[in-house]
Amino acid sequence: MKRNQLKLCLLAAAFGLALLWATPSARANVYATNIKLNGNLTASTVGAGSGVPLTITFRLNQAATYGTVINILSSGTPVRTLTIASGSQGTLQGLNTVVWDGNDGSGNPITTGTYTISITAAAADLGAWTQISTSASTAPAFYAVAVNDNPSSPYYGRVFAGNKNGGSSICGIRKMNNDLSDADEGGLGKCNFAWNNDGYNPFGLKYAPNDQLYFFDWEGSGDIYVTDNTCSTNKHVLTSANYSGLTSPNFEDFEVMIIGNGGYFFMGDNTYPGNGVRAWPIVNGVASGSPGTQVLQYNTAAILIGDGGLAVDTQTNIYVGTLQTRLPARFSPGRGLGTAPPRSPPPHAGGSAAATATA
């Protein structure tokens, strides 16, 4: 990291005045995501001032019918505001490109310092649930879905859909932007995992606040893996060794709770009386111990995880599906487990990208 910073500083010196743009982040909704500065999602160095423009690209999940405002701020104070009317580049659903000339509001080149780009898009209230995109990439077996809802992640707004059969060439995790176009690096993520094209993996997806995506393999009695937002690799984080000693385990759904650097994995058995819902502490990113702690025992044959799913909120309330009524049941709270810090909801509209200038 220090070598990279030094290289960027040297580049700045070579260009006289330059801007080092940090990794962008975004906020919601209608919202900008996949924000890139001169084509870079990660840090990049560009010159500042007249004649050295900065190209800002981003995607909107729907058209900004009330327009888009891009502010370039220094210590929270706007030095330049770009106001874009509806129907123009910068307000369209999908990919948008806006160019800033590097000058302040008076037409003068900006000086060195720390700058933030704030993208705020606004749209009319649709009034009711409305389909705002065309259908996503077709696949015969989209089963699970997860969304990156972390405003601090450069992949904020990314949609993941698990495709569990239909041919080995298309099995895996489909990665889409917030407008359901394929991710820039490619739509299909294989995660360096041996998808079996038999309907059992990926059987579930969960995006967690640690900016990682977890997927569920029901090939055996239930295993959990973790991957990154580009689905380029995998790590086995809960295995059959973690529930050795249990009677006929058949875990079909899972949940992830992140608390600080740890947290819990939850697994729900889909048989009655079965093993109920069990929890394993997360230590160094993986499940610790065997066979976990039972935090919910099924007390009626109507409660079957497999037909309804499993979810755990930040207060460790456990929600499971009920086979009999097809409605969720709530149990409060999980035994002996802590609570996760509440996550502040993102604002209604807008996105931001951080930027730093150096000489």
When comparing pLDDT for 288 and 335, which is higher? 288
Residue indicated by tokens 């690209």: 57
Amino acid at the residue 68: T
Share of the chain above pLDDT 90, in %: 35
What are the domain boundaries of the chain?
Answer: 2-123+347-358, 142-331
Across-strand partners of 216?
204, 224
Determine the Cα–Cα distance for residues 177 and 157; give it in Å rounded to an integer: 7
SS3 state at 144? strand
Neighbouring CB atoms inside 10 A of 232's CB total 13
Right CATH for 142-331 from 2.120.10.30, 2.40.10.340, 3.40.50.300, 3.10.450.50: 2.120.10.30
User: In this structure, what is the dihedral angle of CA atoms 183, 185, 187, 190, given to the nearest 10 degrees?
Assistant: -130
Task: Measure the CA–CA gap between 41 and 177, rounded to whole angstroms.
Answer: 14
**What spatial distance separates the first Cα and last Cα of the chain, rounded to whole Å?**
19
Mean of pLDDT values over 318-340:
60
At residue 279, the pLDDT reads 93
Q: For the sheet with 77-84, list strands across it.
A: 44-47, 18-21, 351-358, 114-121, 68-74, 77-84
Q: What is the pLDDT of residue 359?
A: 30
User: How many Å apart are CA 244 and CA 239, to the nearest integer?
Assistant: 9
CB under 8 Å to 317, separation ≥6 — which residues? 330, 331, 332, 333, 334
Structure tokens at 212: 């990682």
**CA angle in degrees (0–180, nearest 5) for 145-149-155:** 90
Residue 136 pLDDT level (bands cut at 50, 70, 90):
low
User: What pairing do the DSSP bridges indicate for beta strands 351-358 and 18-21?
Assistant: antiparallel
Which pLDDT tens digit goes with each residue over 56-96?
999 998 899 999 999 988 888 899 999 999 999 999 999 99
What distance in Å separates the CA atoms of residue 80 and residue 110, rounded to the nearest whole number? Answer: 10
Per-residue model confidence as pLDDT tens digits over 274-317: 888 899 999 999 999 999 998 888 766 545 554 457 888 888 88
CATH class as words, domain 2-123+347-358: mainly beta
Structure tokens at 200: 């059992």
Residues 6+ apart with CB under 8 A from 300: 272
Report the 10 Å Cβ neighbour count for 255: 23
